[in-house]
Structure 1
C-alpha cells in the first residue's frame, strides 16, 4: 500500500474519533443537565484503561432517594447512557447495601460505590476533588525514582 493511503486512513480515523468523542461528551452533558434540573446528581466513576469504563449518574432528591439513574459503560467512544430503573427508589446512603446491587457486574458496583462515597463526602463538606495524575507525569516520577535508586546504589558501592 502507498504511504499516502495509509496516512489518509489514519487521518480519517483520527477525525472520526474526535467527532464521536465530542458526541459522547454531548450525550453526557445532556443527561447531566436533565438530571440536574430535577435536583442533585451523584456521579460515580470507574475509569477503564484496558477494561470497560463506567460512569453512573444518579439523580437524587432532597431526602437522598434516587429518582433517576443512567449509566454509560463500554470501552469505545460509541458507548451511550442507558436508563437503569433498578436504582430508582433506593436511598443513596444505603446504596451499597441494596440487594439489587449484588446482581450487577463488578464495574457497576464500583461506580455505585464511588457515587455513594462522593455524595456522602460532598454532603458532609469533606470532599476534595483531586486532579488525576497524567500518565506522562507518572513516567517522570518513575524515572526520578530510578535515578535516585541508581545514585543510591553507586554511592553505597563507592563507600
Structure 2
C-alpha cells in the first residue's frame, strides 16, 4: 500500500512540475516575442542547480545597442522575467565587466554569455549546448570510472 501511495505522489509531483515548467516557458515565449518584434534579441544564460539560474534577453537595434533588457533569475519554476535597468544604449559587443558592477555575479555572467552568443552568431558559428546538471554529473562519474579502469590496466591518461 505504501509503495502505491509513493508512486501516486511521485506521479502527481511530476505532473505539477510539468505544468509549472510549461507556465515558465510560456512566460519566456511572451517576453522573447515582445522583444523580437522590436529587433534582434541576444540571449544569455547561466544555468545552475544549487544557485539561481539566470536567463537574459537583450533587445538590440541595428548598431548592437541595447534598447530593452529583461532577466529571469531563480531556483524555482515561479521565476518570471523582470526589466534590467542601466544597460540602455550600451553596445553589447563593447560591454566589459566594469560596465556591470551594479549587477550580481550570475546576472553579469549571463550578460557576458549573451555578448559571446552574439559574437558567435555574427561570425556564422553555432552556439554550443550547455549540458544539463544531470549530464554534467553523469560525465563526471564516467570519467571517474574511466580513470579507475585505466589505473587497473596500467594505462595512464
TM (norm. structure 2) is 0.84
- Contact 1:35–1:59 (CA under 8 A) maintained in structure 2: yes
**Which digits, 9 at most, give the CA deviation of each residue in 1:66-105, with x for residues without a partner?**
0111100001111111111322221112222554x10111
> Residues 79 and 122 from structure 1, CA distance in 2 versus in 1: closer, same or farther, beyond 3 angstroms?
same
Q: Per residue, is there more helix in 1 or in 2? A: 1
**Hey, what's the Cα distance between the residues in 2 that align with 1:74 and 1:115?**
18
- Contact 1:55–1:111 (CA under 8 A) maintained in structure 2: yes
Question: In terms of Rg, which structure is larger?
Answer: 1
- Contact 2:121–2:127 (CA under 8 A) maintained in structure 1: no
TM (norm. structure 1) is 0.83
The answer for the alignment partner of 2:48 in structure 1 is: 48
**Hey, what's the Cα distance between the residues in 1 that align with 2:139 and 2:101?**
37
CA RMSD of aligned residues (A): 2.3
The answer for the alignment partner of 1:119 in structure 2 is: 118
Runs (5+) with no aligned partner, structure 1: 154-159
**Hey, what's the Cα distance between the residues in 2 that align with 1:90 and 1:11?**
47
**Hey, what's the Cα distance between the residues in 2 that align with 1:150 and 1:54?**
42
Runs (5+) with no aligned partner, structure 2: none
The answer for the alignment partner of 1:146 in structure 2 is: 148
The answer for the alignment partner of 1:130 in structure 2 is: 128
- Contact 1:96–1:112 (CA under 8 A) maintained in structure 2: no
**Which digits, 9 at most, give the CA deviation of each residue in 1:95-144, with x for residues without a partner?**
22554x1011110111111111221222233x332234434344334322
Residue 151 of structure 1 deviates from its aligned partner by 1.3
